[in-house]
Amino acid sequence: MEFTDKTKEDLITGFTENMIDALMDTFFVFNPNTGKAIRWNSKFREISGYTDEEIVDLKAPDFYYSPEDLEKAAAATKDILSKGQGKVEMSFICKDGRKIPTEYLASAIKDEKNNIKYIISIGRDITERKLTENELKFRSGITEQVNASVISTGLDFKINWVNQAFITLYGYSSDEAIGQTPDFLNVDPLSEEIQNDIYKKVSSGEVWKGEALNRKKDDTVFLCRLDIFPIKDENGDIFAYAGHQYDITERRQAEDALKKKVKELEEFYNMSVGREVKMMELKKEIIRLNEKLSQYEK
């Protein structure tokens, strides 16, 4: 069977169209001068939530992005002009209002005068990557802001990360701690009751604060203050737990010593006041007796 040039062209066109529609990334072509959409694939239609008829009438890229992201797009356009392509991260605004973090790789089709005629953009959903980046930022932020021992766990309450202060405080390496539940550190007589209360509170979205006896790797037991809280995503769903731990042994000893001295002072004061009262009573009694005795002398 012989193919005519027209048949070959139709086959190539059909093959190209099928490939574009089969992409897992969004494919979008528009005229930057008019904002008119020229070509898009089924993935773009699926993610945006708009019908083909609606996409035709919407101005690109203005309608799909925030003013801040449009500034990024303008900067990327300069790269397209100078380098032939540009890369930018923006949040795509869907019909239902959802914002999807997307990484775009864009290139341009130019006319004979070297002016941009169309912009072709391929967008990849980077939601999962952003979640990972946010988790790393979260952990890094905790480490930078506090000097306390910090651990984080998954929803199964197994430790998946500890900071350097934890290693310094407890003497365990991160490898030794990761995979265990935090109760391996607890030696409080009420440890089971404490742990159950912690799990119950934080899994319901509350913060747990309290004190417990914990043990270091060298078997040193110390009084530990605990602040344990759930970590939520942008939808308010809990995806992890974290806790700050402080060795408050010396502070408690200082508090106890202070209470002891205050009690001694109060006892001494009461004793002194009692002595003064007794002296006043005796003086009054002496005066009374002197007055009575003077009556007998008369």
Helix (H, G, I), strand (E, B) or coil at 128: helix
Burial of 201 (0-12, 13-18, 19+ CB in 10 A): middle
User: What pTM did the predictor assign?
Assistant: 0.47
For residue range 178-229, list pLDDT tens digits in order.
Answer: 999 999 999 988 888 998 999 999 999 999 999 999 999 999 999 999 999 9
Tokens linked to 276? 């003064």
Q: Is the pLDDT of residue 37 over 80?
A: yes
Residue 271 within a domain? yes
For residue range 251-270, list pLDDT tens digits in order.
Answer: 888 778 777 876 777 777 67
For position 136, what pLDDT does the model report?
66
Tokens linked to 17? 């169209």
For position 12, what pLDDT does the model report?
44
Final residue belonging to a domain, choices 75, 106, 125: 125
Long-range contacts of 163-169 (CB under 8 A, 24+ apart): 163/139, 166/245, 169/216, 169/245, 169/247
Cis amide leading into 61 (omega within 30): yes
8 Å CB contact between 35 and 59: yes
Q: Look at 112 and 48; give whichever has higher pLDDT.
A: 48
The contacts of residue 278 (CB under 8 Å, 6+ apart) are none
User: What total of structural domains would you count in the chain?
Assistant: 3
For position 295, what pLDDT does the model report?
67
Main-chain phi, psi angles of 265, to 5 degrees:
-65, -40
CATH assignment of the domain containing 154: 3.30.450.20
Nearest to 174 by CA among 139, 208, 199, 207: 139
Cite the DSSP H helix spans in the chain: 5-22, 42-48, 52-57, 67-83, 127-145, 164-170, 174-177, 191-203, 249-297
Give the rounded percent of residues in the chain with a pLDDT score beyond 90.
44
Final residue belonging to a domain, choices 71, 100, 125: 125
Main-chain phi, psi angles of 266, to 5 degrees:
-65, -40
Q: What is the mean pLDDT of residues 153-159?
A: 92
Give the rounded percent of residues in the chain with a pLDDT score beyond 70.
84
Q: Is the pLDDT of residue 15 over 50?
A: no
For position 142, what pLDDT does the model report?
57
Co-location of 113 and 142 in the same domain? no
**First-residue to last-residue Cα distance in the chain:** 159
For position 146, what pLDDT does the model report?
62
For position 93, what pLDDT does the model report?
94
What is the residue type of 240? A
The contacts of residue 13 (CB under 8 Å, 6+ apart) are none
- Integer Cα distance of 35 and 105 in angstroms: 18
Which secondary structure element, helix H or strand E, spans residue 40, and what is its range?
strand 37-40
Q: Lowest mean pLDDT of 104-113, 138-147, 233-242, name the range.
A: 138-147
Residue 296 within a domain? no
Residue carrying the six token digits 């970590």: 231
Co-location of 190 and 284 in the same domain? no
Tokens linked to 293? 């005795």
- Binned at pLDDT 50, 70 and 90, residue 24 comes out as confident
Q: Look at 114 and 95; give whichever has higher pLDDT.
A: 95
Helix (H, G, I), strand (E, B) or coil at 74: helix
Helix (H, G, I), strand (E, B) or coil at 158: coil
State the residue range of the domain holding 199.
130-247
For position 11, what pLDDT does the model report?
41
Distance of CA 139 to the CA centre of its chain: 7
Co-location of 120 and 134 in the same domain? no
Co-location of 146 and 234 in the same domain? yes
Q: What's the mean per-residue pLDDT of the chain?
A: 83
Q: Lowest mean pLDDT of 140-144, 173-177, 286-290, name the range.
A: 140-144
> What sign does the CA torsion over 168, 172, 176, 177 have?
negative
Co-location of 24 and 98 in the same domain? yes
For position 281, what pLDDT does the model report?
74
Residue 70 within a domain? yes
Residue 298 within a domain? no
User: How many CB atoms lie under 10 A from the CB of residue 239?
Assistant: 13
